[in-house]
Amino acid sequence: MLPMLVCIVGIYVGLYFNFLTLLPFSVLGVVVSIVLTANAEQPLTDVPSALLSPVIVVQVGYVFGLIMRENYGHFLARFNLSPSKRA
């Protein structure tokens, strides 16, 4: 569930924000992963994979968001129900 949520966050960041906002979201993912690993009382050997997986997944989501950015703009423009501003 957590990787899917982190990927959705990455897609959102890719759609609406620049590259520099990816770093705080990556750090947030690592902190959440550390807390969940500590609460689950997993062994210390699982910590590196728990730290790397959110960073990788949020970056993959970010790339998906970048790929979808142009098409998403066209999609929103096509189904915009506001009246035309032409004279």
**Stretch among 18-22, 33-37, 83-87 having the lowest mean pLDDT:** 83-87
For residue range 34-66, what is the model confidence (pLDDT) as tens digits?
Answer: 787 777 777 767 677 777 877 888 888 888 888
Output the CA–CA distances (angstroms, integers) from residue 21 to 16, 51, 65, 76, in the order listed. Answer: 10, 19, 13, 23
Question: Domain residues of the chain, as ranges?
Answer: 2-14+24-78
Count Cα neighbours of 82 within 13 Å in the Cβ-side half-sphere. Answer: 5
pLDDT of the residue at 44: 63
pLDDT of the residue at 85: 64
